[in-house]
Amino acid sequence: MMALPLAYELVMGKPIIFWLGILTALFLFSAGIVMILTFHTKYKFPVDLHHKLAFIGLAFAIIHVILALSIYL
């Protein structure tokens, strides 16, 4: 398929699928940290920020999974 060459294109010495995995983890971790900080510290973030970070993380996760599964197509 067309996604396979894209998945393993190197960027800074690592495949794109690696960088998408890192971005996914960072966005989902950030969404969790925003809510922890909002409920347990004096820092207050809007709930919309949590939703936006989680949605972006989910979008990166879907792209990451599609590229990972394209290996087997």
pLDDT tens track, the chain, 73 positions: 555 677 788 889 998 899 999 999 999 999 999 999 998 888 888 889 999 999 999 999 999 998 888 877 7
Position 3 scores a pLDDT of 57
Cite the beta strand spans of 18-67 per DSSP E. none
Cα–Cα distance for residue pair 73/17, rounded to 1 Å = 16
- The token pair at 67 is 């590229």
Place of tokens 């294109």: 9
Q: Has this prediction a pTM greater than 0.75?
A: yes
Task: Report pLDDT for 55.
Answer: 97
Structure tokens at 56: 């972006």
